[in-house]
Amino acid sequence: MEFASSSLSSSSSSFLTSEPHFIHDVFINFGGEEIGRRFVSHLQSVLLQAQVKTLISVENLQEGMKLEEQLRAIGGTKITIIVFSKSYAETTRCLLELEKIIECHETFGQIVLPVFYEIGPSDVRYQMYDFGKTLEETAHRSYSGEQRKYALSKWNRALTTAAVMTGWDVRNFRHDAELVDVIVNRVKTLLDYKDLFITEYPVGLESRVEDVIKCIENQSTKVCMIGIWGIGGSGKTTIAKAIYNRIYREFIGKSFIENISSEGYLAMQENLLSDVLKSKLEVKSVGMGRTMIENRFSRKKLLIVLDDVNHIGQLENLCGSREWFGQGTVIIITTRDFHLLNQLRVNYVYEMDLLNGNESLELFSWHVFRDAIPKKEWNELARNVVVYCGGLPLALQFLGSCLCDRTIEVWEILLLKLQRIPPDELLSVLKISFEDLRDTEKDIFLDVCCFFIGKEREYVTEILNGCGLHADIGITVLIERGLIKVERNNKFQMHPLLQEMAREIIRQECPEKPGKRSRLWFPDDVEDVLKENTGTEAILSLKLDSSIRDCFEAHAFKEMQRLRLLQLDDVQLSGDCGHISKELRWICWRGFPYKCIPKNFHLENVIAIDFKYSLLIHLVWQRRVVLERLKFLNLSHSKYLIETPDFSGLPSLEQLILEDCPSLRKVHQSIGDLSNILVINLKDCTSLRYLPREIYKLRSLKTLILSGCSKLRPLEKI
């Protein structure tokens, strides 16, 4: 393994000289002048309008392109569209192109999309009827003797291979224009040319990106693995995104999995497969996922970025062997753990260096003054702050955001705090941003960090408002301070360094007695507290995941009477669940182990219930209850649930999620009483036959999802 640092010289040369080098996005292979004038010309026109670089055989013949040049051009194309027609087999050139297309597909995973235009797939596959006769005639006209047999053998194989690929039959469409739109949309989805957002102020980024690309250009192995190593907040993710944007067009498929440490193995494998193959796939086990990756990716030239890897298992189950991938594949791994890169035997490790003095001052100035240089009267103060940030981009960004539009007096107070902190204790530098928050804002920050990363902003806001934290305002403050981010699909994200800071803040509340801390989310601490029954009223939130397989006594929760947030993943409790706090506002219990809600299970004040993968059969209580505050009810993937609850006891419900409940047969007629309901998701409830007429009373409903309800009778027209 070679080790590279930022001392490498810059390179402005084009990326990757190894074959294949992609010049075009799409090649259209067809035969017949008539189909070329009609369907193919229409298809090419719409592709070009969509800014898809398209090459078609007839066009280049007119320009005098030789056959050898044409075949080389096919090898520099990501996607081939083959238009099979009655006249397809009349042209030798067309069939030779097909041979090359299949070769490229089998060598590096070129995507092949067949279109059957006025001819059936079976005619092509088996070379039947007039199509087969025409093929024989073309072979006799072009070759003789053994050459003829050899050519026919190769053409037969290529036609059979192409005919069984997923494509389109024109007979299934009303007109050519409809088919063209479907094809172009599929091509655009496969190409997916969308740059990732990198950063608003890319100070010092370009030279570092060039250094890493130089490492990749120098690779000589079949599959190149690059490690980007550095401390939290040093810009590993930022540089990985910039590299991805620069080079992803050179690959058949691509995937950027961000914050990989927050994902389970199955979710990671599904994300990777879906990104590359552009279709949603279900992975039922980790072993199955490994096999699918190996089988589906083995001939494809891919770009894969795995961001924030912290465990060797993440790598083993996503890129365990170079043999899983096609020639020219590049895998980029960002991590804070150098040992992981050694274990994987990456080709190069690029060490993130911190920003130098000038770069640090410029980045800080952009965040504080929206300019590359400090304002004159703040110049000396700005330089002093920069010194204490030690070149760490994240610290510069956060302190810059914290001091934006503040007075000189506030700056001076901050500097007095900084002077009491050793420069190398970067977590402590970031903690200053936390200490400047109000108490409710601190609580929101710690709760988001512990429980709500990856959750939707509106969902979290409702829950934390129910805890009395004024989350509408508090979340806005945290975003403005750069302590949390709202990213794709309006979901929360947080930098790992800030999560480390939050963990340390929680630990320091009571280092020796976890049961007296406000939040429990370290597995060992939770296990100790529940086993030793040492919980106290100090505990506001608790998380227990499936890494601990013990069954705990519900009695262990008895002293946690202020518990408001509870997350349990595949956890068994024995005894009376009535011991769980009446102050509970959010309960997320994956794999809820009961067939119905236990007696004295206090949920009266709960705002959100998430019982995914539960064993519930009936969602009924052993006594009549009204959940006045419940707004979110998620019972998705509950395989045994046969009917919904009586909704008259849920007057505030806004979201009802029952996706993939295959035994669900009945929706209670009281659903018409849900005057605040916004979303009902019944996707893939395959046993559901009808909905009650009362559903038409729902005037507030915005989203009703019924896809996959294969037995559902058609809804009456309203």
Tell which wins on pLDDT, 632 or 262.
632
The alpha carbon dihedral of 426, 430, 436, 440 has a sign of negative
What's the domain count of the chain?
A: 5
For the chain, how are helix, strand and coil distributed in percent, rounded to 5?
45, 15, 40
Phi-psi category of 85—alpha, beta or left, where left has phi over 0 and alpha has psi -120 to 50?
beta
pLDDT of amino acid 165:
93
Gap between the Cα atoms of 247 and 53, Å rounded: 17
Q: Is residue 81 part of a domain?
A: yes
Q: Would you state the structure tokens that stand for residue 314, as one six-digit string?
A: 């993440």
Contact 517, 507 (CB under 8 A): yes
- Residue 293 Cα to chain centre, angstroms: 16
The alpha carbon dihedral of 230, 235, 237, 242 has a sign of negative
Q: Please report the beta strands in 39-76, taking only residues with DSSP state E, as ranges in sequence order.
A: 54-56
CA distances from 266 to 257, 260, 275, 684 (A): 13, 12, 14, 20
On whether both 452 and 569 belong to a single domain, the answer is: no
Gap between the Cα atoms of 707 and 696, Å rounded: 18
Q: Is the pLDDT of residue 717 over 70?
A: no
Q: Is the pLDDT of residue 81 over 80?
A: yes
CATH value at residue 689? 3.80.10.10
On whether both 241 and 130 belong to a single domain, the answer is: no
Last residue of a domain, one of 120, 155, 190: 190
Phi-psi category of 308—alpha, beta or left, where left has phi over 0 and alpha has psi -120 to 50?
left
pLDDT in tens, 8-45: 333 333 333 345 678 899 999 998 888 888 999 999 99
Q: Is residue 510 part of a domain?
A: yes
Q: Is the pLDDT of residue 4 over 50?
A: no
On whether both 490 and 580 belong to a single domain, the answer is: no
- Residues near 531 by beta carbon (within 8 Å), at least 6 away in sequence: 550, 552, 556
Contact 83, 30 (CB under 8 A): yes
Ranges 194-208, 250-264, 351-365, 654-668: which has the least confidence: 250-264
Q: Helices (H), strands (E): how many in the chain?
A: 25, 24
pLDDT band at 547 (very low <50, low <70, confident <90, very high): low
Q: Is the pLDDT of residue 62 over 70?
A: no
Phi, psi of 553 (to 5 degrees): -75, 130
Gap between the Cα atoms of 580 and 564, Å rounded: 10
pTM (predicted TM-score): 0.64
Host domain of residue 466 = 431-497
On whether both 402 and 466 belong to a single domain, the answer is: no
Q: Is the pLDDT of residue 651 over 90?
A: yes
On whether both 153 and 99 belong to a single domain, the answer is: yes
pLDDT in tens, 306-353: 998 888 888 889 998 888 998 889 999 998 888 888 888 899 999 888
Q: Is residue 15 part of a domain?
A: no
pLDDT of amino acid 558:
86
Q: Is residue 200 part of a domain?
A: no
On whether both 547 and 629 belong to a single domain, the answer is: yes
pLDDT in tens, 115-156: 999 899 999 999 888 899 999 999 999 888 899 999 999 999
Catalytic positions, written as ranges: 97
Contact 115, 81 (CB under 8 A): yes
CATH value at residue 153? 3.40.50.10140
Q: Would you state the structure tokens that stand for residue 190, as one six-digit string?
A: 């496969």
Q: Is the pLDDT of residue 548 over 70?
A: no
The alpha carbon dihedral of 264, 270, 273, 276 has a sign of negative
On whether both 574 and 686 belong to a single domain, the answer is: yes
% the chain with pLDDT above 70: 91
Q: Of 222, 195, 172, whose CA–CA distance to 19 is shortest?
A: 222
Q: Of 336, 356, 347, whose CA–CA distance to 212 is shortest?
A: 347
On whether both 268 and 137 belong to a single domain, the answer is: no
Beta strand 608-610 with 586-590: parallel, antiparallel or unpaired?
Answer: parallel
pLDDT of amino acid 14:
38
Gap between the Cα atoms of 571 and 544, Å rounded: 8
Q: Is residue 478 part of a domain?
A: yes
- Residues near 181 by beta carbon (within 8 Å), at least 6 away in sequence: 46
On whether both 492 and 507 belong to a single domain, the answer is: no
Contact 307, 237 (CB under 8 A): yes
* Most distant CA pair in the chain, distance: 94
Tell which wins on pLDDT, 462 or 579.
462
On whether both 394 and 542 belong to a single domain, the answer is: no
3-state secondary structure of 703: strand
Beta strand 253-257 with 77-84: parallel, antiparallel or unpaired?
Answer: unpaired
Phi-psi category of 636—alpha, beta or left, where left has phi over 0 and alpha has psi -120 to 50?
beta
Q: Would you state the structure tokens that stand for residue 458, as one six-digit string?
A: 């509106």
Q: What is the DSSP string of 74-95?
A: HHTEEEEEEEE-TTGGG-HHHH
pLDDT band at 158 (very low <50, low <70, confident <90, very high): very high
Q: Is the pLDDT of residue 423 over 60?
A: no
- Please identify which residue in the block is written with the tokens 């199509």: 131
Q: Is residue 1 part of a domain?
A: no
CATH value at residue 474? 1.10.10.10
Gap between the Cα atoms of 359 and 198, Å rounded: 17
Gap between the Cα atoms of 141 and 90, Å rounded: 10
Q: Would you state the structure tokens that stand for residue 174, as one six-digit string?
A: 């009303």
Last residue of a domain, one of 317, 351, 385: 351
Give long-range contacts, CB 8 A cutoff, 24+ apart: 552-557. 554/578, 554/579, 554/580, 555/579, 556/529, 556/530, 556/531, 557/581
pLDDT in tens, 518-539: 999 888 888 889 888 899 999 9
Beta strand 77-84 with 302-309: parallel, antiparallel or unpaired?
Answer: unpaired
Q: Is residue 12 part of a domain?
A: no
Q: Is residue 98 part of a domain?
A: yes
On whether both 513 and 639 belong to a single domain, the answer is: yes
On whether both 550 and 699 belong to a single domain, the answer is: yes
Gap between the Cα atoms of 409 and 405, Å rounded: 12
Last residue of a domain, one of 158, 190, 222: 190
Gap between the Cα atoms of 555 and 93, Å rounded: 79
